[in-house]
Amino acid sequence: MKRIGLIIVQASKASAAFVANAVKETRDIEIAGTAPDFRSGLDAIRLYAPDIVLVQAGPRIEEFCDAVTREYPETGIIILVVGNDPDSARYVVAALACGAIDYLAVSDKSDSTHNLLLSKIRCYSIKRYSHRARRNEVEKNHEYRFVATAPASGGEYPPATVPKFDAVLIGVSTGGPVALMDLLPGIPATFPVPLIIVLHMPKEFTGPMAAALDRKSSLHIKEAEDNEEPVRGKAYLAPGGFHCMLHGETRGKIRMRIADGPLENGCKPAADVLFRSAAPLLGNRALAVVLTGMGSDGTKGAKTVKRHGGFLVAQDEKTSIVWGMPGSIVRAGLADEVLPLDRIAARLCELIGI
């Protein structure tokens, strides 16, 4: 069995020790080498051809990530956050915008954090080639298909229709920043309904992430605020560490509620919470989208959306970094359409009617 090869770039003693302890008892992962800085990191990639580069967050990380994704599109990049540098969130978001697939805070050296790193490494390495490489392959084939999935047996969910929608609800996790960087720029500023997004991210990261997405999109994208009314032509990113819900007022107004609460599916915010709150308010005017991510967050909420007549779109396996969340939607028979990532923005416009 060929092992998954890692390189650690710009590694401090703390991050190198963390990775070494995480992989020391595995049989499928090995550290091929380390590099003290970004320039020698590129040399190490040329020498070892690793599957994954683990790089410690720091200044100019976006230049390194951009160079790796351009020259070595089959190599995945995971960012390691060490210590309490107030600029860490900015570095991580910049790296994600330039092609890094994920990140992990390594200040907690518990077994659960070790296991989380191993999960991220293994999930990405299953297919052994990156989102960008898969996207290029799809573009070469020029084959796009709408795949309708049947409702679950027993007729529990009503047949899907294509009504006028009042909001787009998006749930996404692992690989989410890259997916959103592709999806949102394809949606015009004239989009006639708001988009509300749950991305599994810590509270320090969602503000900078919203700002980075806003810079790349014609839509106005911001971090959601409590009691804010979502309006057309804007996208709202749920703040990390809180759940984002919709609640109705008199005269038909809908507002976002940002509130604390227990984790759901190990997440806060959770897509299940958003979907569950929106379904009875929007009914068949809810358009929900589930993108790449580990686990099954969004599936329970999607069942509620379907019971109220809403419409579900899931990202396909080929273009997902991890086909956990969208795969769960498809296996449950909830997806009305299963689409490649680079077809979803255009399809949302078609469904909305623009």
**Count of alpha carbons within 13 Å of 5, Cβ hemisphere only?**
14
Residue 259 predicted with pLDDT over 70 = yes
**Is residue 342 within a helix (H) or strand (E), and if so which, with residue range?**
helix 341-352
CA distance between the termini of the chain:
51
Quote the pLDDT of residue 143: 39
Closest C-alpha among 320, 278, 275, 336 to residue 300: 275
Q: Which of 15, 200, 214, 328 is catalytic?
A: 200
Distances (CA, A) of 344 to 291, 292, 327: 10, 13, 16
Return contacts of 153-160, CB within 8 angstroms, 24+ apart: 153/333, 156/307, 157/303, 157/306, 157/307, 157/333, 157/334, 158/306, 158/307, 158/309, 160/306, 160/311, 160/312, 160/336
Q: Rounded distance, CA 331 to CA 324, Å?
A: 10
Span 338-346, average pLDDT: 96
More confident residue, 146 or 260: 260
Q: For 16-25, 60-69, 132-141, which range has the lowest pLDDT when averaged over its residues?
A: 132-141
Which residues have CB under 8 Å from 143's CB, separation 6+?
Answer: none
Q: Which residue has the tokens 């579900």?
A: 312
CA 139 to chain centre: 21
Residue 250 predicted with pLDDT over 70 = no
Quote the pLDDT of residue 130: 40
Helices and strands in the chain: count of H runs, count of E runs: 12, 14
CATH 3.40.50.2300, the chain: domain bounds = 4-129
Q: Over the stretch 158-207, which tens digit does the pLDDT of each residue have?
A: 555 544 899 999 999 988 998 999 999 999 999 999 999 999 998 999 99
The first and second tokens of residue 225, run together, are: 């605020």
Q: Is 11 helix (H, G, I), strand (E, B) or coil?
A: coil
- Among this protein's residues, is 200 annotated catalytic? yes
Quote the pLDDT of residue 146: 45
Quote the pLDDT of residue 54: 96
Residue 282 predicted with pLDDT over 90 = yes
Quote the pLDDT of residue 84: 76
Residue 340 predicted with pLDDT over 70 = yes
Which string of DSSP letters, residue by residue, matches 242-257?
Answer: SEEEEEE-GGG-EEEE
Q: Which of 15, 125, 130, 173 is catalytic?
A: 173
More confident residue, 89 or 221: 221
Q: Over the stretch 305-336, which tens digit does the pLDDT of each residue have?
A: 999 999 999 999 999 988 999 999 999 999 99
- Among this protein's residues, is 173 annotated catalytic? yes
Quote the pLDDT of residue 160: 55
Q: Which of 51, 102, 166, 297 is catalytic?
A: 297
Quote the pLDDT of residue 330: 97
**Is residue 143 within a helix (H) or strand (E), and if so which, with residue range?**
none
Span 54-67, average pLDDT: 93
Burial string for 229-251 (b: 16+ CB within 10 Å, else e) reads ebeebbbbbbbbebbbbbeeeee
- Among this protein's residues, is 297 annotated catalytic? yes
CATH 3.40.50.180, the chain: domain bounds = 146-352
Residue 151 carries which DSSP code?
P
Quote the pLDDT of residue 1: 60
CB-count exposure of residue 154 (10 Å: 0-12, 13-18, 19+) = exposed
Quote the pLDDT of residue 124: 78
Torsion angle in degrees (nearest 10) through CA of 25, 12, 115, 129: -90
Closest C-alpha among 146, 150, 145, 147 to residue 332: 150
Closest C-alpha among 112, 39, 37, 122 to residue 78: 122
User: Are 169 and 199 a contacting pair, CB within 8 Å?
Assistant: no
CATH for 4-129 is 3.40.50.2300
Which string of DSSP letters, residue by residue, matches 26-80?
Answer: -SSEEEEEEESSHHHHHHHHHHH--SEEEEE--TTHHHHHHHHHHH-TT-EEEEE
Closest C-alpha among 33, 252, 274 to residue 169: 274
Q: Over the stretch 106-157, which tens digit does the pLDDT of each residue have?
A: 876 667 889 989 988 988 776 554 444 444 444 444 333 444 444 443 346 6
Query: Mean pLDDT in the chain?
Result: 87
Quote the pLDDT of residue 167: 96
Quote the pLDDT of residue 127: 54
Quote the pLDDT of residue 126: 64
CATH for 146-352 is 3.40.50.180
